[in-house]
Structure 1
Amino acid sequence: MYFILSSLLSFVCNPVFYIIVCLVLAWLVKNRIVKKVLYGVNIVLVILFTNQPFSRFVKEQWYKEYDHPLPAGKVYQYGIVLGGYSNWDWERNRVEFSEIADRLLAGIYLYKQGTVKKLVLASDGSIIENPTGQGPKGNPRGMMAFLRAMGMPEHDVILEVKARNTRENVTRTLELLGDSLRTSPSLLITSAVHMRRSLSAFQAEGLHPDYYITDTQVRIDGEGDSWMPSLQTLSEWPELLHEWIGYLVYKVKGW
């Protein structure tokens, strides 16, 4: 059931799905007016979802309230890094990172700066334990060895290895750390577009961590936004649509 729902969500969160549906409907309907409307809608969808400035604006509106510096001098007992940034490559016996690896890098940086005392890695593809054999299988020991090589002391790294999604990241981390997570200052570290939904999941458990966003929209000095249609921009939309739908589901469930 979990796999079926995940697969269905991947379709719903992909703008290409809506573009194809409009094209197919326009091809099937006989009414010329409806056909023209559907083609028009399809053109608008293509223009919007491939437009970089529009995409940037929408994303920034989604996370702008979380985009500010940390309180000066504040130290956190836990820096909680949410997963999704890596998988374990069993063929080559090494970790492979995704485009949101900034989550982990930011956590290590904040630890090195003394901002967080302990780094909590909430279940990620590289560390998840999967006794059932269904879904991704990580290598916690291998990932810990990698972190040691990166200069992270093992006694200051806590691996949460059971969660399969953001909501379970919260409940499993709470099970792992217990009341210490409620009483100690903690910092949530995750991608900018993921922060709103992640905080909602933590707050549903009565937890109110500070937050540090990564993977923000970077404006390169001397380089403006391109108004040309971009397949790269189109490929970035599923992440945001996933967050919108997930956040709505959380609210419906009272999270």
Structure 2
Amino acid sequence: MFFILSKTLHFFLMPFIWVLVLLLLAVFLKSFRWRRISLLAAVGILLVFSNPFLANEAWRAWEVKATPVSELEHYDLAVILTGVTAYREDIPDRIHTHKGADRFLHPLQLYRMGKVDAFLITGGSGRVLAGAVPEAEQVEKVLLMAGVPEEDIRTEGNSRNTRENAANTAALVAQNPEWQNLLLVTSAFHMRRSAGCFDKAGVNTTSFSTDFYASERRFTPDETIIPSIHAFSNWHLLIHEMTGFVVYKILGYC
């Protein structure tokens, strides 16, 4: 039930939906005053949320900063959270990834540098109704193709959210006492909630952020005043994650 509710909430947190509803109100409301308020609100949301400078500042404030590779210790295990692949029934002969593929590419780099001994990939299918190949298995295939030995990869394909990632990982860690030093790898915007869930589950980890949306501050016109459709669309992800963090806090998940 919680999984379905989270997917429903994901839809209603889209700024595009807010604008669409306000524009419909501006058309169909009988009161001229409220039609005008709805229209101005829609324009205001478009202007604020499409401003690239404001969006970047919000991302900079929320994302957990990068840890320089040179500062990392040696880790027994890199715990990789999924959410970066998409199974396609019509094109099943390859792995399809999203922007967040850094979640497994960066720990692969650490593995090649000798800073990580093995991988635990946690994540099932993110679909509400139809089944699909667990994301953990899809990421495992990529690592195997990259030359990582099968014995250095463990997968957990039942988790459907961050809380379950942490709980299922905790169960595996309890069964493998040799896993002492763990590196938690996920997107920078997702690290606050992830680290909180793993702490709550009793799994001690070191955070390693990847997949950054924030960038350095730039004061050129295209980065300050010219509207950006990418800035507008990325707000949906940020609002969703911030809301998820608050909900998890209220429910005691992190």
TM-score, normalised to structure 1's length?
A: 0.85
Unaligned runs of 5+ in 1: none
1:100/1:215 contact within 8 Å kept: yes
Partner of 2:30, secondary structure, is coil
How far the C-alpha of 1:221 sits from its partner, in A, is: 9.2
Superposed CA RMSD? 3.0
Q: Percent identity?
A: 28
The one-letter code sitting in structure 1 at the alignment partner of 2:203 is L
CA distance in 1, matches of 2:129, 2:165: 20
CA distance in 1, matches of 2:70, 2:176: 21
TM-score, normalised to structure 2's length?
A: 0.85
Counterpart pick for 2:238 among 233, 237, 240 = 240
CA distance in 2, matches of 1:155, 1:49: 46
Counterpart pick for 2:165 among 156, 169, 194 = 169
1:218 corresponds to: 215
Cα distance change, pair 2–50 in 1 and its aligned pair in 2 (3 A): same
- When structure 1 is superposed on structure 2, of 11-20 and 72-81 the one drifting more is 72-81
Cα distance change, pair 218–15 in 1 and its aligned pair in 2 (3 A): same
2:26/2:38 contact within 8 Å kept: yes
Aligned residues: 250
Alignment of 1:57-206 (within 5 A): 57-64=57-64, 66-69=65-68, 72=71, 74-90=73-89, 91-125=91-125, 134-138=130-134, 144-178=140-174, 180=176, 184-206=180-202
How far the C-alpha of 1:180 sits from its partner, in A, is: 4.4
How far the C-alpha of 1:200 sits from its partner, in A, is: 1.4
1:85/1:104 contact within 8 Å kept: no
1:70/1:212 contact within 8 Å kept: no
How far the C-alpha of 1:81 sits from its partner, in A, is: 0.9
Cα distance change, pair 24–162 in 1 and its aligned pair in 2 (3 A): same
CA deviation string 1:9-45 (max 9, x = no partner): 2222211111112112222333333322222211110
CA distance in 2, matches of 1:68, 1:6: 30
Unaligned runs of 5+ in 2: none
- Asked if residue 19 in structure 1 is aligned to residue 16 in structure 2, the reply is no
CA distance in 2, matches of 1:119, 1:186: 10
CA distance in 2, matches of 1:238, 1:76: 34
CA deviation string 1:52-83 (max 9, x = no partner): 1111110110125x434367351111111110
- When structure 1 is superposed on structure 2, of 136-145 and 54-63 the one drifting more is 136-145
